[in-house]
């Protein structure tokens, strides 16, 4: 892993606290399920952090307003991809449900947002990254919909959820910093710009990424894969002890698979 500031390797605070990091996980398409190299890097990263007692998941592949909670009990996965061979739909990831975390989410956010429930299983934006990070499927997971693309609102949702980090909960955004194969140069320029703004905590610019960031129109034809980052960033913003790159980009690749850790 690469450190953008001084932070202990395991993600715990320098003062010895057990506050969980919040993370943004770079997740590719369904073929990543069998990408041993990528999954190995995700697992190594997960092993370097404290093991969470629960994961609060915001995936690029579930955008719904009002904010909606996924299933509180064990249900089938949501195979939200199409025209793949049959074995892509035989994949299982039997993570335990997290009904107590759902209750805590309502306690923390119920006076701020209208919250709906659902019986939706984890989608591929959620379970593919989790398969790499926690292949034993032993961590309870609650998925929550992305209710808006408005950057500051997503950031503030993350900030409101930050107290859960002291309860062993990992707030996780899953997506991609760029989501286009059109231009390697545009993708790398956008990635570098975002990393600079995160490192400087320049929220004013970051929240205007669609106007200010170089290469944004080519790197992000649509923004749903980027915005889960803002939730994770918000959850790790206060009492911040540094940012790490958990999984690096491939230097010669067109796209970005960067994963980030906010301590």
Q: 45-86 pLDDT, tens per residue?
A: 999 999 999 999 999 999 999 999 999 999 999 999 999 999
Q: List the domain range (segments joined by +) for residue 169.
A: 2-262
Q: Distance between CA 76 and CA 71 in Å, rounded?
A: 10
Conformation bin of residue 168: beta by default, left when phi > 0, alpha when psi is -120 to 50: left
- Check whether the bond before 202 is cis (ω within 30° of 0): no
Q: Distance between CA 112 and CA 121 in Å, rounded?
A: 25
What pLDDT score does 15 carry? 31
CB 67 within 8 A of CB 169: no
Bridge partners (DSSP) of residue 123 are: 78
Helix (H, G, I), strand (E, B) or coil at 169: strand
CB 99 within 8 A of CB 72: yes
CB 125 within 8 A of CB 77: no
Name the pairing type of β-strands 22-26 and 2-3: unpaired
Q: Distance between CA 228 and CA 230 in Å, rounded?
A: 5
Name the pairing type of β-strands 115-117 and 141-146: unpaired
What pLDDT score does 251 carry? 65
What pLDDT score does 58 carry? 98
Longest dimension (CA), the chain: 50
CB 129 within 8 A of CB 25: yes
225: domain CATH number is: 3.40.830.10
What pLDDT score does 114 carry? 96
Domain count along the chain: 1
CB 228 within 8 A of CB 174: yes
Q: Distance between CA 259 and CA 263 in Å, rounded?
A: 13
Strand ranges of the sheet holding 259-262, from the earlier edge strand across to the other edge: 2-3, 243-247, 259-262, 22-26, 169-175, 54-63, 141-146, 67-69, 115-117
Q: Distance between CA 110 and CA 219 in Å, rounded?
A: 35
Closest CA to 93 of 145, 147, 39: 39
Closest CA to 218 of 261, 180, 171, 260: 180
What pLDDT score does 252 carry? 63
Mark out the alpha helices in the chain (DSSP H runs): 36-48, 99-109, 124-133, 151-161, 184-200, 203-206, 209-212, 216-219, 228-235
Q: Which residues of the chain have pLDDT under 70?
A: 1-17, 251-252
Name the pairing type of β-strands 243-247 and 2-3: antiparallel
What pLDDT score does 8 carry? 35
Q: Distance between CA 169 and CA 80 in Å, rounded?
A: 26
């Amino acid at each position: 892993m690469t450190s953008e500031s001084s932070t202990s390797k395991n993600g715990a605070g320098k003062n010895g606290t057990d506050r969980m990091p919040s993370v943004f996980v770079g997740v590719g398409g369904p073929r990543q399920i069998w990408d041993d190299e990528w999954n190995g890097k995700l697992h190594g990263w997960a092993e370097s952090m404290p093991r969470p007692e629960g994961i609060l998941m915001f995936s690029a592949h579930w955008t719904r307003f009002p904010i909606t909670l996924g299933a509180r009990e064990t249900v089938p996965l949501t195979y939200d991809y199409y025209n793949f061979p049959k074995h892509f739909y035989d994949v299982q990831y039997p993570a335990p449900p997290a009904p107590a975390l759902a209750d805590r989410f309502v306690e923390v956010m119920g006076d701020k947002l209208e919250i709906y429930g659902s019986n939706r299983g984890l989608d591929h934006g959620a379970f593919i990254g989790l398969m790499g990070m926690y292949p034993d499927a032993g961590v309870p997971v609650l998925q929550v919909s992305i209710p808006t693309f408005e950057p500051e609102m997503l950031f503030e949702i993350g900030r409101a959820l930050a107290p859960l980090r002291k309860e062993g909960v990992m707030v996780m955004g899953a997506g991609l910093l760029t989501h286009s194969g059109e231009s390697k140069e545009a993708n790398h320029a956008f990635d570098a710009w975002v990393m600079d703004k995160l490192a400087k905590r320049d929220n004013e610019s970051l929240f205007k990424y669609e106007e200010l960031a170089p290469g944004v129109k080519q790197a992000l034809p649509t923004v749903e894969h980027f915005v889960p980052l803002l939730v994770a960033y918000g959850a790790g913003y206060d009492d911040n002890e540094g940012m790490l790159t958990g999984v690096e980009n491939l230097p010669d690749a067109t796209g970005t698979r960067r994963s980030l850790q906010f301590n």
